[in-house]
Structure 1
Amino acid sequence: MLAPLEHAPLAPHCTLRIGGPARYLIEAADEATVAEAVGWAAARGVPVRVLGGGSNLVIADDGVDGLVLKIALRGISTREVAGAMEVTAAAGEPWDALVRHTVERGWAGLECLSGIPGLVGATPIQNVGAYGQEVADTLSAVRALDRERGSVVTLGPAECGFGYRDSRFKSGAPGRYVVLAVTYQLSPGGAPNVRYADIARDLERRGLARPSLAEVRETVLKIRRSKSMVLEPGDPNARSCGSFFLNPIVDASTLSAIDARAAGLSMPRWPQPDGRVKLSAAWLIERAGFTRGQTEGPVGLSTRHTLALVCHDGARARDVAAFARRVRAGVEARFGVRLHPEPIFWGTLSLD
Structure 2
Amino acid sequence: MKPANQISHSLRSLCLLTFFATSFVFLFYSPDSFAHVKWFVSPDLQPPDTFKPYSLNEPMVGIWIAIAAVMILTSIFLDSRLPTPPIVDSKTRHDVIEIVRILTGMSLLLTAYDGKLIAPHLVAHDGMGVFLVFLEAFIGLMLIANRFLFYAAILLLVLVVGVLIQFNPISMLEYINMTGIALFLLFNNMPTESGRNRFKPYSVAALRIFTGISLATLGLSEKIIGAPLGQEFMRQHPWNFMQTLGFEFFDDRLFVLSAGMMEVVFGTILILGTVTRLNTFVLSLFLLASNLVFLYEGMKEAALMELVGHMPIIASALILIVLGYGQRLKITDIFKKSDDVKAAEVSG
Q: How high is the TM-score relative to the length of structure 2?
A: 0.26
Q: Which structure would you say has the larger RCO, counting Cα contacts within 8 Å and 6 or more residues apart?
A: 2
Give the structure with the higher percent strand: 1
Q: How high is the TM-score relative to the length of structure 1?
A: 0.26
